């Protein structure tokens, strides 16, 4: 993915803290902005994993869990229609809608090498971790006759070491993302398998 530096590090207005759109509205935006069903599924999977992590690992309250879910759901919303302005368009849309600045910053930081916005808090770091790995694990599921059923961590680790498999997934980004958190790769892979397998 080419660099689309956003040229800034602050997003949204602190006065809008806690202001989130209803999840139904976010899905509606997704349907309007993203015709590609596979890309929509990717964002729904990242949203499910983000929400589950917030609740189970961070003991997040309902509002915080919704922030994580919303960031996951909309992080690639402008990618299909505006690849040359990826992230910029969805960020401007969310700022226009007065959405919580933490959600917007999280979306802006999901690819630090491309948008030049560093992940700051745990939510930022986890979307960076989950984004590439979620897509990678789904690609691995698609080539298995039983999809997610019976998928194990070892097979994913093996595929990660095979550069020709899902070559578009940047292994350096995965390594960089993992270096920012204190959770082993194996645990992250298992969590993603468990939480995204039933997402439709």
- Tokens found for residue 175: 């390594």
Please check whether residue 8 lies inside any domain of the structure. Answer: no
Does residue 9 sit within a domain? no
92-126 tens-digit pLDDT: 999 999 999 999 999 999 999 989 999 999 999 99
Share of the chain above pLDDT 70, in %: 98
Is residue 40 over pLDDT 90?
Answer: yes
Task: Report residue 2's pLDDT band, with 50, 70 and 90 as the boundaries.
Answer: low
pLDDT tens-digit readout, 140-194: 999 999 999 999 999 999 999 999 999 999 999 999 999 999 999 999 999 999 9
* Secondary structure letter of residue 6 according to DSSP: -
**Would residue 6 count as lying in a domain?**
no
> Is residue 78 included in any domain, yes or no?
yes
* Within a domain: 100: yes
Number of structural domains in the chain: 1
Mean pLDDT, the chain, rounded, equals: 95
- Give percent of the chain with pLDDT exceeding 90: 94
Output the domain CATH number for residue 167. Answer: 1.10.3210
46 inside domain: yes
Domain that holds residue 164: 14-196
Report d(CA 27, CA 23) in Å as an integer.
Answer: 6
Instruction: Give yes or no for residue 37 having a pLDDT over 80.
Output: yes
In a domain, 1, yes or no: no
pLDDT at 21: 95
pTM of the model: 0.96
Sign (positive or negative) of CA dihedral 12, 196, 163, 153: positive
């Amino acid at each position: 993915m080419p660099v689309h530096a956003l040229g800034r590090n602050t997003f949204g207005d602190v006065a809008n803290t806690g202001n989130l759109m209803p999840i139904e509205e976010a899905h509606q935006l997704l349907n309007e902005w993203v015709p590609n069903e596979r890309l929509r599924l990717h964002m729904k999977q990242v949203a499910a994993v983000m929400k589950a992590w917030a609740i189970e690992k961070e003991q997040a309250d309902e509002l915080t869990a919704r922030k994580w879910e919303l960031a996951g759901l909309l992080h690639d919303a402008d990618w299909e229609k505006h690849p040359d302005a990826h992230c910029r368009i969805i960020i401007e849309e969310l700022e226009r809608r007065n959405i919580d600045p933490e959600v917007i910053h999280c979306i802006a930081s999901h690819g630090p090498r491309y948008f030049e916005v560093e992940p700051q808090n745990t939510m930022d770091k986890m979307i960076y971790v989950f984004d590439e790995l979620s897509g990678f694990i789904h690609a691995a599921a698609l080539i298995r006759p039983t999809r997610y059923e019976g998928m194990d961590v070892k097979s994913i680790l093996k595929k990660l070491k095979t550069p020709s498999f899902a070559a578009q997934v940047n292994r350096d980004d995965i390594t960089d993302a993992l270096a920012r958190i204190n959770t082993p790769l194996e645990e992250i892979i298992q969590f993603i398998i468990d939480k995204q397998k039933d997402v439709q």
